[in-house]
């Protein structure tokens, strides 16, 4: 298979592979990002703790929305909703939501207007989601993705910047319009 077919339409190999995170100080690969929110239920607790530690080691201010301990009876909305609200309000610049599969965290976060969350398990979407769709909250499955891969994907997500291209702004305006209007009945 050719490189072009592996990386999708309208993307060059150099633009895709140059988006990998840069080693070194976080200022070299994150621009102005400094405040990152994290949240997880029991299914994502261990991964959240690992990622929060790596973020702190890299110089980020981490706001932890919980859970503060593994509790098999907790529910992901209890932690993901406050994280998503903080992202939408700009109290944290980006967020990391983790549950067992990552699906519930993603669904829940996307119910908060202004949040663009996605379950990510591979590097292309980790940067492309930010570049094209202004992704501001990344979700992981704590029972699905390993620590090293999650850290690589988080670094890629944090290093990416929204391109601001007109077509992307137009699409995001359509999404924001959906969030601001009541649902119409389907006949």
Task: Report, as residue numbers or ranges, the catalytic residues.
Answer: 99
Question: Which residue, 114, 115, 121, is CA-closest to 98?
Answer: 121
Q: Kindly state the greatest CA–CA separation across the chain.
A: 56
Q: Which residues contact 169 (CB under 8 A, 6 or more apart)?
A: none
Please, are residues 47 and 142 in contact by the beta-carbon 8 Å criterion? yes
Strands of the 61-64 sheet, one edge to the other: 61-64, 35-40, 94-99, 137-141, 117-119
């Amino acid at each position: 298979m050719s490189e072009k077919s592996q990386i999708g339409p309208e993307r060059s190999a150099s633009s895709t592979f140059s988006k990998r995170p840069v080693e070194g100080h976080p200022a070299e690969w994150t621009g102005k990002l400094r405040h990152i929110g994290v949240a997880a239920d029991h299914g994502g607790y261990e991964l959240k703790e690992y990622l929060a530690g790596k973020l702190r080691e890299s110089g980020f201010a981490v706001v932890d929305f919980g859970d503060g301990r593994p509790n098999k009876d907790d529910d992901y909305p209890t932690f993901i909703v406050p994280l998503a609200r903080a992202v939408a309000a700009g109290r944290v610049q980006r967020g990391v939501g983790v549950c067992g599969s990552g699906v519930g965290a993603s669904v829940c976060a996307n119910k908060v207007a202004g949040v663009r969350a996605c379950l990510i398990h591979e590097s292309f979407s980790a940067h492309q989601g930010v570049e094209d769709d202004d992704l501001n909250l990344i979700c992981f499955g704590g029972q699905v993705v390993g620590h090293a891969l999650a850290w690589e994907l988080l670094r890629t997500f944090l290093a990416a910047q929204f391109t601001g291209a007109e077509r992307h702004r137009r699409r995001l305006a359509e999404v924001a319009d959906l969030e601001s209007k009541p649902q119409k009945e389907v006949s």
